Chains A and B, each alone.
Chain A
Amino acid sequence: MLKGEIKKQSPKNLLLVFQILALSLLLSYQGRIADKRILTMVIGLILIIYLSNYLLTKISSGDNYIFLIVTMLISIGIIIIYRIDEGLGIKQLTWISLGIFLYFSVYFIVKKLKGLDRWLYLYIGLAYFLFMITFIFGNRKFGAINWVDFGGFAFQPGEIIKILLIFILAAYYSNIESWGKIKYSSYYMMALIYSFIMLLFLQKDLGTALVFYLIFAAIQFIYEEDRKLILYNIGLFLISASMGYLLFDHVKIRFQAWLNPWIYIERQGYQITQSLFAIAEGGFFGKGLGMGHPEFVPVVYTDFIFSAICEEMGIFTGIGIIMLFMIFVYRGFKIAISQVNRFYRILALGISILFGIQSFIILGGVLKMIPLTGLTLPFISYGGSSILSSFIALAVLQVCSEDMGEDVDEEGN
């Protein structure tokens, strides 16, 4: 057939094959007769993805693989979401299309803008501003106050603040020679970050707080000259973690539910046990798309999407996803190391660490390897804020993968 023409082992084309197969399978699922609208949207998405991948190789001298990996991830995600709920599937489709558009826009903007490393105060201001909005206008959803409603359009400021955090850290540490002239500047920076974490803690958004902390800890570990601070950081973390456990019930509950959800199976342990059932039922190859019961898993669109994937597509697909994230993070680090400009290097590092840590935390939580936190799996979970912010971060990473020249520091590196 066309096999001869399709370059063997070209990932782009494999992706295409995958998408076509999956979609055609889904369209025949339960006699869902695809109406023209849906069909065109779906074909539209496949085309967009294929074209984007192609376009990217033309316009960007940077890394080609990260976008490719991401498109595979979103394909798997969209397939499973569409299978669970047609309506949400369509919505996810729109978010992704928006995301890709945003991706190219941010890419061009960030590439053109110079001097991004000098806007530290701007980033800090924006972050606090967003925090304020959350506190004033925020609604509680699923236990954490991190959603803001703007007349039907809800988004999570936390997702944007995450990216601002990375910019803040990059702006600071790339210019540490000048910032370092202010006495105790690193302490101030640490206090600043901790204030963010505190605010998140107050919002009961423990997952994001943890991500913030770990990104900061990693960057600090790599770039902080004053090694004492790292120890302080670890110490403070341990103290506040223990205090958090002792003082706050909702932390204690998470831990109990993690250690032995079976005895709390009706309340705290309900979510994680249902997730484990789904994963266990799937076996290595899964039950088959449409043959499982993701409807039994709570919060399946966002936090537990991975469980649904494991149930219907098997542990092997799950492991495949983990491997894709691992390659993605590796690529991100490679981009960082090859990047000569320090600001962009730290940006790349921060973003890679962000994706790596966030995906690890939610995957670990869903598998009961670590306590559960309310984080989304980047690119796979349903959610506008999550998808859009992930694409924004991806765009920045793409910029970092190019030769940004300038800024050669004293050592000539």
Chain B
Amino acid sequence: MKKEIKRIILILTALCMTFISLIVYISYFQIFEASAVKNNSYNKRLWINEQAILRGSILDRNGKILAYSEKDGNSFERHYEYGNLYSHLIGYSYRDYGKSGLELHYNNALLNINENTAINEIKNIVMPNVEGNNLGLSIDHNLQSKARALIDGKKGSIVVMNPTTGEIYAMVSYPDFDSANLKDNWKKISEDMDSPLVNRAIQGLYAPGSTFKLITALAALGSGDNEEIYNCLGSEKVEGYIFQDYEGRAHGPIDLKAALVKSCNSYFINKSLEVGRDKISNMAENFLFNQNIPFDLPVRVSQFPHREMASDLELAAASIGQGKVLVTPLNMALVASAIANEGQIMKPILVKEIISKDGKLLKAKRPEVLSQAIDPIKAEEIKDMMVEVVQSGTGVNARIKNIKVAGKTGTAELSSGKNHAWFIGFAPADSPTVSVAVVLEEDKSTGGKSAAPIAREIMLYAIRNIKE
């Protein structure tokens, strides 16, 4: 009967293996997935804790209160002073609608909930927690308001930051919603086709259009002869497809700088084929494409799908920021910041400080270098070109009297006939204190016409009013 015994043992082993796999799975779950799972607004336990704790306030960089909680009988009521303005950044925290934005991602800090260690547990029993911590943001409230006013009801996003520290001065996404009055408008908000709940600055993916030429140009700067003159005839044919310059205009003989200044498509398309896919994709990845950008809120990954760009046609389209290239406005702001900051990308910061209710500074974020995208020499070179763009090229609408502004326009064509109007830039060019990315979604005009003036106003305001 040995066969029988063998089979029995086989079944036993199989059963034991399944039990062991259970043990492994549950351990894996607890170690790796538990904290992410817990932080879900459907987890009612989050709310139970909250009822006993005074949720922390959220302030701008100058101490202006943007959100706070007040005792209302037995529980607390949350107040949003400027509902629409911070609907994406601060988000909301309601029992019925859950949490979003910083209210979600900094929930533990706002409630002063610490890790589940034994020591903390004992602490919690002996000295129960009743007050949360305040968040100090890097946002400048006046700039934020101004930016929202400037976008003037158009769909799109504006990101303003300090290129040397990474602090975000303003982040606007439109359309927005009134986080202070969710109850009345929830149905309308959640069903709105324009997705007002989405923070376009970090979750919106757009074709960057000509702003991507900066990256193509930087890839070209490392190789080959850039003094070489190319004769622009107003269009360039690749694999049977004809790429046209803006309004079919032929720019004549131009070099790299002139091509950037006039935003000549043909030049860059021709150049991209010469430089090659790998160099351009490497440069894109230097600027954080295809990677997670660490930030206080979740940021969608910008895409430069080089594996899918097998053909020249795809590469050509990508080199002028069309085709499969997609980018978040924050990422483009980081591109501008890197060039402004001698090639160094600083980690973007939204929450500057965490302060306990009795004024103790619990955590302060120091500026942190994310990566060195390009060396300072290249940064300087491209910066010069960007200054010329604003001085005499497509970006003249961003000119500020007595201040040298560097920038690049972009007009990403959509199949619907409309465009995404882009402008990214920084100022003052020699020692920049502010960088900006503006994108207007499905606009009828160009980056130079619609986005550049907005960027101008913002940079001017920031330089005049914001102290580091």
Contact = CB atoms under 8 A, between A and B. Distances in A.
Note whether A and B contact each other (Cβ less than 8 A): yes
A364 B17 CA distance: 13
B15 A360 contact: yes
Given A280-B30, A293-B48, A356-B15, A221 B37 contact: no
Interface residues of B, number: 34
Contact of A319 (B9, B16, B27, B34): B27
Interface string B25-42: 111011001110110101
A349 interface: yes
A285 B121 CA distance: 11
Interface in B34-77: 34-35, 37-38, 40, 42-45, 48
A126 to B, nearest CB: 27
Contacts of B4: 222-223
Contacts of A279: 26, 29-30, 34
A177 to B, nearest CB: 14
B219 to A, nearest CB: 39
A279 B25 CA distance: 12
B1 A413 contact: yes
A277 to B, nearest CB: 4
Given A221-B11, A222-B4, A330-B16, A276 B22 contact: no
A149 to B, nearest CB: 33
B11 A277 contact: no
Contacts of A283: 30, 34, 116
B26 A333 contact: no
A131 B1 CA distance: 36
A296 interface: yes
A277 B42 contact: yes
Tell me what chain A mostly uses at the interface: helix, strand, loop, or mixed: helix
A319 B27 CA distance: 9
B22 A367 contact: yes
A239 interface: no
B26 A353 contact: no
B40 A277 contact: yes
Nearest to B25: A369
B466 interface: no
B23 interface: yes
A373 B12 CA distance: 23
Interface string A381-413: 000000000000000000000000000000101
A245 interface: no
Contacts of B43: 277, 281
B42 A329 contact: no
A349 B29 contact: no
A318 interface: yes
A283 B26 CA distance: 11
Contacts of A330: 12, 16
Contacts of B1: 411, 413
A273 interface: yes
B5 interface: yes
A273 B42 CA distance: 9
A280 B33 contact: yes
Nearest to A320: B23
A322 B19 contact: yes
A315 B7 CA distance: 33
B7 A276 contact: no
Tell me what chain B mostly uses at the interface: helix, strand, loop, or mixed: helix
Interface residues of A, number: 42
Interface in A232-247: none
Given A296-B45, A325-B19, A330-B16, A280 B25 contact: no
A330 B116 CA distance: 36
B149 interface: no
B11 A222 contact: yes
Contacts of B48: 293
Contacts of A337: 5, 8-9
Interface string A312-337: 00010011001101100110010011
A277 B19 contact: no
A357 B18 CA distance: 9
Contact of B34 (A280, A360, A413): A280
A360 B22 contact: yes
Contact of B22 (A218, A349, A357, A364): A364
A363 interface: yes
A387 to B, nearest CB: 22
B19 to A, nearest CB: 4
Contact of B7 (A222, A273, A310, A319): A222
Given A277-B45, A283-B116, A326 B40 contact: no
A315 B33 CA distance: 13
Given A265-B42, A277-B42, A318 B15 contact: no
Interface string A276-319: 11011101110000000100100000000000001000010011
Given A293-B45, A329-B12, A360 B23 contact: no
A269 to B, nearest CB: 9
Contacts of B8: 222, 333, 336-337, 349
Interface in A331-378: 333, 336-337, 349, 353, 356-357, 360, 363-364, 367, 369
Contact of A329 (B15, B22, B44): B15
B22 A281 contact: no
A243 to B, nearest CB: 25
A322 B22 contact: yes
Given A356-B15, A360-B22, A367 B29 contact: yes
B26 A315 contact: yes
A-B CB proximity, top 5 nearest = A280-B34, A326-B19, A277-B43, A222-B7, A280-B37
27 contacts: A218-B11, A262-B40, A273-B40, A277-B37, A279-B34, A280-B30, A280-B35, A280-B38, A281-B43, A283-B30, A283-B116, A293-B44, A310-B26, A315-B30, A322-B22, A322-B23, A322-B26, A326-B15, A326-B16, A329-B16, A330-B16, A349-B11, A356-B18, A360-B19, A364-B18, A369-B21, A411-B1
Interface of B: 1, 4-5, 7-9, 11-12, 15-16, 18-23, 25-27, 29-30, 33-35, 37-38, 40, 42-45, 48, 116, 118
Given A369-B25, A411-B1, 4 more contacts: A221-B11, A283-B34, A357-B15, A364-B18
